[in-house]
Amino acid sequence: MRITFRDVSYTYMIGSPFEKKALDAVNLTLSSQTFTGVVGSTGSGKSTLMQLINGLLLPTTGQVQNGDFILHRKSKRKYVKQVRRQVGMVFQYPEHQLFGSTVEEDMLFGPKHLGLDIEKSRQRFPDLLELVGLGEEILPYSPFSLSGGQMRRVAIAGVLATHPKVLILDEPAAGLDPAGHRALLDLLRDWHDQHGLTTVLVTHDMEDAARYADEIVVMDEGKPVISGAPTDVFRQADQLAGLGLDVPASVRVSRAMQAAGWEVADTLLEPEALAGVVIDQLSTVRKEG
Amino acid sequence: MLQNIVIGQYVPVTSPLHRLDSRSKLISLLALAVIVFLANEFWSYLALLATVVLFVALSRVPLRFFVKGLFPVFILIVFTFLLHAFFTNEGYVLFSILGFSIYSGGIEQGVFIAIRIGSLVILASLLTLTTKPIDLTDGFEFFLRPFKRFGLPAHEMALMMSISIRLIPTLLLEADRIMKAQAARGADFTKGTMKTRLETMTAFIIPLFVRSFKRAEDMATAMDARGYRGGEGRTKLRVLQWRLQDTIACIVVGGVGVVLAILRDF
Ligand SMILES: Nc1ncnc2c1ncn2[C@@H]1O[C@H](COP(=O)(O)OP(=O)(O)O)[C@@H](O)[C@H]1O
Ligand SMILES: [Mg+2]
Q: Same domain for A254 and A222?
A: no
Q: Same domain for A78 and A197?
A: yes
pLDDT tens digits for range A197-219? 999 999 988 999 999 999 999 99
Q: Which amino acid is at B163?
A: I
User: Averaged over A70-89, what is the pLDDT?
Assistant: 94
Give the global pTM: 0.77
Q: Take atom 26 of ligand 1 and give the residue whose Cα is closest.
A: A43
Q: Take atom 18 of ligand 1 and give the residue whose Cα is closest.
A: A47
Which phi and psi (to 5°) does residue A174 adopt?
-55, 135
Q: Same domain for A157 and A272?
A: no
Asked whether residue B69 is domain-assigned, the answer is yes
Asked whether residue B184 is domain-assigned, the answer is no
Asked whether residue A154 is domain-assigned, the answer is yes
Q: Same domain for A273 and A172?
A: no
By residue count, chain A amounts to 289
Distance CA A97, CA B234 (A): 39
Asked whether residue A202 is domain-assigned, the answer is yes
**What dihedral do alpha carbons A224, A230, A232, A236 form, nearest 10°?**
70
Asked whether residue A115 is domain-assigned, the answer is yes
Q: Same domain for A163 and A275?
A: no
* Segments forming the whole domain that contains residue A43: 3-231
Q: Which of A231, A258, A278 is the last residue of a domain?
A: A231
Domain count, chain A: 2
Asked whether residue B59 is domain-assigned, the answer is yes
Asked whether residue A210 is domain-assigned, the answer is yes
Q: Same domain for A194 and A252?
A: no
User: Averaged over A93-121, what is the pLDDT?
Assistant: 94
**Residue whose C-alpha is closest to residue B6's, from B47, B65, B58:** B65
Asked whether residue A37 is domain-assigned, the answer is yes
By Cβ distance, the residue of A77, A99, A112 closest to B191 is: A77
User: Averaged over B120-145, what is the pLDDT?
Assistant: 88
Domain count, chain B: 1
DSSP code per residue over B171-217: HHHHHHHHHHHHHHTT--SS-S-HHHHHHHHHHHHHHHHHHHHHHHH
Asked whether residue B173 is domain-assigned, the answer is no
**Residue whose C-alpha is closest to residue A268's, from A223, A211, A191:** A211
Asked whether residue B182 is domain-assigned, the answer is no
Using the atom order of ligand 1, give the atom closest to the CA of residue A50.
Answer: 17
User: How much is the mean pLDDT over chain A?
Assistant: 92
Task: Give residue B3's pLDDT.
Answer: 39
The domain that contains A161 carries what CATH number? Answer: 3.40.50.300
Set of chain A residues whose Cβ sits within 8 Å of the Cβ of B185 = 84, 97, 109-110, 113-114, 158-159, 162
Asked whether residue A237 is domain-assigned, the answer is no
Q: Same domain for A23 and A129?
A: yes
By Cβ distance, the residue of B177, B184, B210 closest to A84 is: B184
The proportion of chain A whose per-residue pLDDT surpasses 90, expressed as a percent, equals 75
Asked whether residue A240 is domain-assigned, the answer is no
Asked whether residue B167 is domain-assigned, the answer is no
* Segments forming the whole domain that contains residue B258: 2-158+237-264
Asked whether residue B168 is domain-assigned, the answer is no
Which of B2, B3, B179 for a ligand 1 pocket mutation test, highest count of atoms within 8 Å of Cβ? B3
Distance A171 CA to ligand 2 centre (A): 8
Q: Take atom 25 of ligand 1 and give the residue whose Cα is closest.
A: A43
Which phi and psi (to 5°) does residue A40 adopt?
155, 160
At A289, the pLDDT band (50, 70, 90 cuts) reads low
Q: How far is B139 from chain A (nearest CA, A)?
A: 26
ipTM: 0.90
Rounded alpha-carbon distances, angstroms, from residue A93 to A48, A169, A174, A175, B54: 17, 11, 7, 8, 50
User: How much is the mean pLDDT over chain B?
Assistant: 87
By Cβ distance, the residue of A16, A81, A158 closest to B188 is: A81
User: Taking the CA atoms of chain B, what radius of gyration do you get in angstroms?
Assistant: 24
What's the 3-state SS for A141-169?
CCHHHCCHHHHHHHHHHHHHCCCCCEEEE
Set of chain B residues whose Cβ sits within 8 Å of the Cβ of A94 = 181
Q: Does A110 touch chain B (CB under 8 A)?
A: yes
Q: Same domain for A186 and A108?
A: yes
Asked whether residue A47 is domain-assigned, the answer is yes
Asked whether residue B16 is domain-assigned, the answer is yes
